[in-house]
Amino acid sequence: MSFKTAGLFGDWRHLVEDPVLVGDVKKTVEKGSIPSFGFFFMLAAAGVIATFGLLSNSAAVIIGAMIVAPLMNPIIAMSFGGVEVNRVLILRSLLTIAIGTIVIITMAFLVSELIGWKLAGSELIARMSPSLLDLGIAVAAGAAAAFAYTRPGVSSALAGIAIAVALVPPLCTVGIALSLGQKSGTDIGFAMGTVSARGPFLLYLTNIFGIVLSASLIFFLQYFRRHASAFVALILIGSCLLLVIPPLGVSMDNLLVRNLVHRSLTVKTQELVLADRDVRFSNLSIRLKQGVAFVRADLVAAPGILGQRVVDSIRDDIAELIDMPVVLEFSIIPEAIVRSADVGNQLKGSK
């Protein structure tokens, strides 16, 4: 390396490191699979923290719970055990994950019941409808976590990985949803039919399957790619995704429809504004049921701005864009504007 090149880029050759020996990785992941008292204590504490964060709608507290929770360790251990075809490690990791899952759900349920909270905020609602985007996050996080286990130089990234893929918050949402029941209200500005434990539990399973698949692939490529049994195990692990992809695909389609409807209404609003009609959205609700999109929007506008013909035209445009029937309803909030006197008149008056 020349002096000029070294000065420009620095000597990076010492940063290139080989993977940790497979025996050392095995010792590390085995420690993470053990259902110890310390593991469950930290997990229960993380569950309580995440529950309070979800109930108070505090993203910062929820992030803190993600860092405290050690649930990623047995999941990575199960990934390693899968491609190593280590039945003891797989079963022990599964047992630790299963008991940890029950502990977190129970803690969230008990805390919610003790407080008597009956209102679902945006942090709870955000975990009700997982999509393929969440699977993509889990896959990327699992690959990063497994790579960090094999490279000491990047092991400090594990805390950030724990934040990126949420494991404890979805489980806490399950416990809270069981406590809230079907008749809970929401404190956010869009409609939600019911608060259910099904969506957050699907998100939890999605995160586990995504992490296990990508982490297993990383371990396979670095340590077990010459083993035929590891290749078969990797295929079996990948097939588990078939359990979550169909419902995630449906949620993804619904998310895209909502995105298109929002975009269409935004464009129409801009057209009305350009036509000297001051219109602003204050709320938007989109509900898909039996192949029909029910759209309701709250507008702040002067009376008489939106007539029946304009509303029908907007409905037709949205229906054409999303390729499904649309029932559109606007709730118009009358607006009265009072402006101060003209600046020119004020200047004349000051003379």
- Domain of residue 308 covers 253-334
Q: Are residues 200 and 294 both part of a single domain?
A: no
Inside any domain, residue 126: yes
Domain boundary among 186, 221, 243: 243
Q: Are residues 235 and 263 both part of a single domain?
A: no
Inside any domain, residue 339: no
Q: Are residues 209 and 316 both part of a single domain?
A: no
β-pairing verdict for 185-186 and 119-120 = parallel
Can you tell me which residue has the tokens 């010792």? 27
Q: Are residues 185 and 288 both part of a single domain?
A: no
- Please give the Cα distance from 116 to 106 (Å, whole number): 15
- Please give the Cα distance from 158 to 150 (Å, whole number): 12
Q: Where are the beta strands (DSSP E) in the chain?
A: 119-120, 185-186, 279-289, 292-301, 326-334
326 bridge partner residues: 293
Q: Are residues 324 and 193 both part of a single domain?
A: no
Report residue 9 as tokens: 């880029």
Inside any domain, residue 110: yes
Helix (H), strand (E) at residue 279: strand 279-289
**pLDDT tens track, the chain, 351 positions:** 444 545 555 555 555 667 778 888 899 889 989 989 999 999 999 999 999 999 888 888 988 888 888 889 999 999 999 999 999 999 999 999 999 999 999 999 999 989 887 777 778 888 888 889 999 999 999 998 898 888 877 666 666 776 777 889 999 999 998 888 755 544 444 444 467 888 899 999 999 999 999 999 999 998 888 889 989 999 999 998 888 899 898 888 888 888 888 888 777 766 665 455 666 776 777 877 778 888 888 877 766 667 788 788 888 888 888 888 888 888 777 766 666 666 555 555 555
Q: Are residues 219 and 265 both part of a single domain?
A: no
For residue 141, how many other CB atoms are within 10 A of its CB? 24
**Which parts of 56-115 fold into alpha helices (H)?**
59-68, 72-84, 87-115
Q: Are residues 27 and 91 both part of a single domain?
A: yes
3-state secondary structure of 47: helix
Query: Which CATH number fits the domain that encloses residue 318?
Result: 3.30.300.20
Q: Are residues 222 and 287 both part of a single domain?
A: no
- Please give the Cα distance from 106 to 48 (Å, whole number): 10
- Please tell me the total count of domains within the chain: 2
Burial of residue 44, with CB atoms counted within 10 A of its CB: 0-12 exposed, 13-18 middle, 19 or more buried: middle
